[in-house]
Amino acid sequence: MRSEGSAASRKHTASVRSQAAAFFVIRALSVFTILILASILSFVLWKGLRYSNLYRSEYMPIEESSPGGMAIVVNVEQDMESLDWTTLYGMFTDEYINWAKIDGSDYDLQPVAVDPVSSEGTAAEAFLFGSPEAGGVPLWGDLVRTAGSVEEALNIVSSTIGAVAVVPAEAVLSRQGVKTVPLRRVVLAVNPGVTEFVENDQIRDLTRSETREVAEGKVGSWKAFNGPDIPVVNLAPPPGSDLDRLLRESGYTVAGEPAADTAGYVRALSETGGAAGYLFGLERNLAGLPALVQSGRDTGWNLTLRYLVEAPRLSGRVGGISTIILNTVFMLILTVLFAAPVGIAAAVYMVEYARQGRLLRILRLGTETLAGIPSILFGLFGFIFFVSVLKFGFGLLSGSLTLTLMILPTIVRTSEEALKSVSRALREGSLALGASKLQTIGKVVIPAAIPGILTGVILAVGRAVGETAALLFTMGSDYQLAKGLFSSSRALASHVYLLFAEGISFDRAFATATVLVVVVLVFNFTARSLIRRMNRNRSA
Amino acid sequence: MQEDKPVTISVKDLDLWYGATRALNKINLDIESRSITALIGPSGCGKSTFLRTLNRMNDLIDGVRIEGSVRYDGRDIYAPETDVIDLRKQVGMVFQKPNPFPMSVYDNIAYGPRVHGIQDRSVLDEIVERSLVQAALLEEVKDRLHKSALGLSGGQQQRLCIARVLAVEPDVVLMDEPTSALDPISTAKIETLLEDLKKRYTIIIVTHNMQQAGRVSDKAAFFLTGDLVEYSTTKDLFFNPKDERTENYISGRFG
C-alpha cells in the first residue's frame, strides 16, 4: 500500500514538474517575442528621434564670434549655428550659389563685400584673402555684390535673406535684422610629409581628442595614426599673437618651443619634417599646408517640430514633411470615401440578400484570397488600368482607387462578420413592427453593427497608410502638396522608402518612419475610443 | 356571453412543414376579438410556430411551407395580394426575450411610427407618451426617455417592447412567452397590464406557465406534437378537459 502511494505521489510530482517546465518555456517564449517586437519598435523610434551623424572637418571646435575683430553677419531669418573658414572663403569665391549645401535652406546666396577702397573694406579683404604684404591676392567671386559702406552692406543683409557679409565687429553691436555667425578657423596644420602616402597607406582621420593629444605632445610618432614613421615635432605659435591668445582662452595647451613671429612659425611648419601646430585657416591656405582631418559622430534631435511643419525640398534632403503628411491624409480620406460605402454595401448584400449557397461560398473564398494578395499586384493593376487605360495618370485619384481595391476585401469580410453578429431578435423585432427589410437593415442592423464595421475600416486604413508598393506606380512620388485629384503626390510610407532607396538620408527616413508609427497609433487609439464610447452609449 | 364576440382570426386546415418535417397538422381555430387566447402545450408542440404564422414571421425562415388558410378580418393573409408590412402593422408581436433596439427609449417606441411615415415631432411625442401609459411604463422611464433602452431592467425592457408594438396601433398583439425571461414581480406587472390591454386589443399569448394561462386567458388551446388537441374556454379546458391528453398535461403527468 505504502509503496503504491509513494509511486503515485512520485508520478504526481513528475507531472507537476513537467507542467512547470512547459509553463516556463511558454512564458520565456512569449516574453522573448514581446522583447524582440519592443526592441524593433524602440529602435525605429530612437533613430527617428535622435540623429547620430558622421562629421568630417579640419577645423577644431573653437568658435569665435568676432574673429580678428570682424564679424560674419547674415539675415536674422537665416537658421545657422556656425560656419568654418573654408565655407566662408567658398561663399566669397563662387564656390556656392545657394545655401542648400551650407545650412540646408534653399535661399540664394548673396555675398556682400564693402568696397575695398574704404578702410573697413580693406580689413575685410585682408581677413578673407590675406594682406598684400603677407602675399594675399583678392579673388572676389562674380556673385559678390559691392556695397559702398558698412552701413549699406548691413542694410542689404538685413533686407535680403541669404545675404552674407564680413564687417567690423563693432558695427554690428546694436543692429536689428542681422545676426552674427560664429566662425571656426583653427586647424592643426602639419608638414606636407605627414600626409604623404607610405606603402599605399596614409594618415587616417583622427578624433578630436586625438588631435588635441598630438598638439599637446603626447604622441611620439605619426605611425600611431597609420602615417609615416616620422617623430611628431610640436611647434607653438608666437606668444602674444591672436592665435596664441585664442588657444589659451579656449583651454588648448600646446607643446613645443614658441616661434618668434608668425612668418617664422609658418616657415618652420613647412620646413620641419613631422611638424605639427595650430594655425588659422587663412595662413594655412597662404602657406599651402595640409591639416589633419578629424571625424566622429555628432548627435542631436532628429525629429523636430520644424521637420513636421516645413515643406520638403531637394528630394526631401532638406526641409520637412508637412506636405507629405497632408498628402497622406488626403489619400486616406479618398480611400475611405471610396472603399467604405462599396465594402459595406457588398457585405450587406452578401449577408442579407444573396442566396446562401455555392456561389456565395466561391465569392467569399475570392474575397479572402484577394485580401492575401501582395500589394504590388494591385499596384501593377492600378498602373495599367487607372493610370494608362482610364488615363487618370499618376496622382491621388489613381493611388486612392488602387488602395481601395486593395483594402476592399478586408472591409467586406469584417463588415460581413459584424452584420452576421447582429442578433436575429433585433431583426425580427423590427420586421414585426411592419418595417420593410431595407428599413430594418438601414435603421437597426447597420447601426448595431457599426462598431464592428468601423474596426474593419480602421484595420484596412492601417494597411493603406503603410503601403508603398501599390502606390509607387499609381500615385507618383511628387513631394509637393497635391494640387488636385490628378496631381502626383507622395505619402509617408513611400517617402520613407524613397529616402532609403535613393540614399538621401537615413536620419530623415527614420524621422518619417517615426511619424508614420505615431499616425498609425493615433488612428488605432481614436478608433478604439470611438468604439468604446459607442458601446457605452448603447449599454448605459 | 363569449359567443357574442366577433371572430378576428380564423384558421382553417393549416398545415406547416419545415422542409420535410411537418410541424402543424390541420389546425382549425377561431380567435375572438378583444379577448386573451392562451396557447399551451409542452416544448416543441408547435404553439410558437402557430403563433408566428399569424403575422407571417415564418416567412423569414428558409424552407417553410404552408397550406390551408389564415383569415384575418375576412382576408386570407397568405394570398399573394396581401401586403405583409400592412399585416404586421395590424398584428404586432412581442418576443420571448426582450429585444429593445440599441437606441434611446424614445426612439425605440417612435421606431414603428417613423417607419410608417410619421415624422412630426409633436405627433411622435404624443404616441410615445400614450404607448408608455398603456404599457404602464411611463412613470418608471419618464426621466430617461432619451437614454439607451439597454439600461432598463429586463421587465422594463419587455414592457418597452410591448409599448413599441402598441405605438403602431395594432389590432392584434401576439405574445410569445413574454414573461419566461422575467422575475415574478415583472411577470405580475405584465399580467396586470394584459388585463388592461384586453379591452382594446385581441391578444394571443403562448405560455409555458399553466397558472399564467389560467389567470389571464379567456380561451385556451392545447397543442401537442403539431396537433390542436383541445380548444375551449380556459375554465372548461382546465376543469373539464374533454381529451385525456389534455387532462394528463394539465394534471402534470407530462410536459
Q: Is residue A304 part of a domain?
A: no
Range of the domain at A6: 2-53
- Distance CA(A100)–CA(A277), nearest Å, equals 33
Please tell me if residue A404 touches chain B, with a CB cutoff of 8 Å: no
Same domain flag for A375 and A514: yes
Cβ–Cβ below 8 Å for A428 and B89: no
A241, A262, A292 — which closes off a domain?
Answer: A292
Same domain flag for A157 and A251: no
Q: All 3 cell numbers of residue A14?
A: 513528475
Say what the pLDDT of residue A537 is. 59
Same domain flag for A105 and A226: no
Q: Is the dihedral of CA A226, A227, A231, A234 positive or negative?
A: negative
Q: Measured between CA atoms, how close is B216 to chain A, in angstroms?
A: 24
Q: Is residue A300 part of a domain?
A: no
Q: Is residue A301 part of a domain?
A: no
Same domain flag for A519 and A422: yes
Element housing A73 (H / E): strand A70-75
Kindly list the residues from chain B whose CB atom is less than 8 angstroms away from the CB atom of residue A538.
102, 148, 150
Same domain flag for A452 and A534: yes
Say what the pLDDT of residue A197 is. 85
Query: Cell 426621466, residue?
Result: B143
Say what the pLDDT of residue B179 is. 87
CATH number at residue A531: 1.10.3720.10
Kindly list the residues from chain A whose CB atom is less than 8 angstroms away from the CB atom of residue B99.
423, 425-426, 428-429
- Distance CA(A121)–CA(A147), nearest Å, equals 9
Please tell me if residue B17 touches chain A, with a CB cutoff of 8 Å: no
Same domain flag for A141 and A283: no
For chain B, domain boundaries = 7-99+172-250
Q: Measured between CA atoms, how close is A448 to chain B, in angstroms?
A: 7
Instruction: Give per-residue pLDDT as tens, B143-184.
Output: 999 988 888 988 899 999 999 999 998 999 999 988 888 888
Say what the pLDDT of residue B251 is. 83
Kindly list the residues from chain A whose CB atom is less than 8 angstroms away from the CB atom of residue B147.
540
* Cα-only R_g, chain B: 18
Topology given in CATH for the domain delimited by B7-99+172-250:
Rossmann fold (3.40.50)
Q: Measured between CA atoms, how close is A455 to chain B, in angstroms?
A: 18
Cβ–Cβ below 8 Å for B148 and A425: no
Q: Kindly report the average pLDDT of chain B as a whole number.
A: 88
Say what the pLDDT of residue B20 is. 86
Residues with pLDDT less than 70, chain A: 1-5, 535-540
Mean pLDDT of B212-218: 90
Q: Is residue A247 part of a domain?
A: yes
- Distance CA(A463)–CA(A335), nearest Å, equals 11
Q: Measured between CA atoms, how close is A440 to chain B, in angstroms?
A: 9
Domain count, chain A: 4
Q: Is residue A305 part of a domain?
A: no
Say what the pLDDT of residue A494 is. 93
Kindly list the residues from chain A whose CB atom is less than 8 angstroms away from the CB atom of residue B93.
428, 432
Q: Is residue A321 part of a domain?
A: yes
Say what the pLDDT of residue A315 is. 81
Number of A to B CB contacts under 8 A, please give it.
Answer: 74
Which of B60, B86, B99 is nearest residue A429 as measured by Cβ atoms? Answer: B99
CATH number at residue A155: 3.40.190.10
Q: Measured between CA atoms, how close is B114 to chain A, in angstroms?
A: 9
Same domain flag for A401 and A530: yes
Cβ–Cβ below 8 Å for A426 and B115: no
Tell me the CA end-to-end span of chain B in Å, nearest whole number: 32
Q: Is residue A37 part of a domain?
A: yes
Q: Measured between CA atoms, how close is A452 to chain B, in angstroms?
A: 14
Please tell me if residue B175 touches chain A, with a CB cutoff of 8 Å: no
Q: Is residue A298 part of a domain?
A: no
Mutate to test the interface with B, among A352, A431, A433 (most CBs of B within 10 A): A433
Say what the pLDDT of residue A540 is. 43
Instruction: Give per-residue pLDDT as tens, A409-438.
Output: 999 999 999 999 888 889 999 999 988 899
Instruction: Give per-residue pLDDT as tens, A146-184.
Output: 998 888 999 999 998 889 999 998 888 878 889 899 999
Instruction: Give per-residue pLDDT as tens, A325-353.
Output: 999 999 999 999 999 999 999 999 998 88
Cβ–Cβ below 8 Å for A432 and B111: no
Kindly list the residues from chain A whose CB atom is less than 8 angstroms away from the CB atom of residue B88.
431-434
Q: Which residue of B has its CA nearest to A438?
A: B115
Same domain flag for A171 and A275: no
Which of B92, B148, B151 is nearest residue A433 as measured by Cβ atoms? Answer: B92
Q: All 3 cell numbers of residue A385?
A: 488600368
pTM score of the predicted model: 0.73
Q: Is the dihedral of CA B63, B67, B72, B76 positive or negative?
A: positive
- Distance CA(B196)–CA(A530), nearest Å, equals 44
Same domain flag for A336 and A460: yes
